[in-house]
Amino acid sequence: MGLADVLLHALHCLPDLEALVMVQSAVGNGSISFDFLYDKCQGRRNGLARSVLDLVIPRADSVLEVIANVHFARAGLRVRRHVHISGVGEVDFLVEECLVVETDGSTHFEPKSIKRDQRRNNQSIIGGYLVLRYYYEDVVHRPEVMVTEIQAVLLLWKRSGRGRPDMRHL
């Protein structure tokens, strides 16, 4: 059985997140074409498979991003991915235009990475954004806690009546 057969079988038989991780990995590393898979999933009986394919992120930096994105969408959060913020660089997610959410894998535990990430957090906050960081365990094993925390921060932000502050006076 070839890779295409395995992925098509996964799309039809596995839970959506498990199938998504397999497809995202194969598409992301160039082992198979997204368009090929999508073409193979036409017709009424393939609606669920296409709904999983619709969750694939063409340029994901990690599978954690893909899984987090699914949880954010299911929670009804308004999210932009791979947003460039001046003085910070590219962030994984900008939620509701005020909250930076980063999903960090094991490479972020190296001392240089920790320092870089803390500096990016500082610059994000100086720029008027809130920041939350989540790790593998959070995204994969505790997604409901992650989403609840994000919603709680957004609620506090909205209740405070603050929009993104005008930082031009600094």
Q: Average the pLDDT over 43-72 and give the result.
A: 91
- The answer to whether 21 and 56 have CB atoms below 8 angstroms apart is no
Tell me the per-residue pLDDT of 3-34, one tens digit each, with 9 for 90 and over.
999 999 999 999 999 999 999 999 998 999 99
Residue 91 lies in a domain: yes
81 shares a domain with 8 = no
Range in 56-60, 91-95, 118-122, 145-149 the model is least confident about: 56-60
- Count of structural domains within the chain: 2
Predicted local distance difference test score (pLDDT) of residue 132 = 97
Q: Average the pLDDT over 46-53 and give the result.
A: 92
141 shares a domain with 70 = yes
- Last residue of some domain: 26, 56, 86? 56
127 shares a domain with 83 = yes
29 shares a domain with 71 = no
Q: Which residue type sits at 101?
A: V
Q: Average pLDDT, whole number, for the chain?
A: 89
* Residue 16 domain boundaries: 1-56
Cα separation, 75 vs 99, whole angstroms? 15
Residue 168 lies in a domain: no
Count of helices and strands (H, E) across the chain: 8, 4
Query: Whole-model pTM?
Result: 0.82
Residue 66 lies in a domain: yes
pLDDT band (50, 70, 90) for residue 161: confident
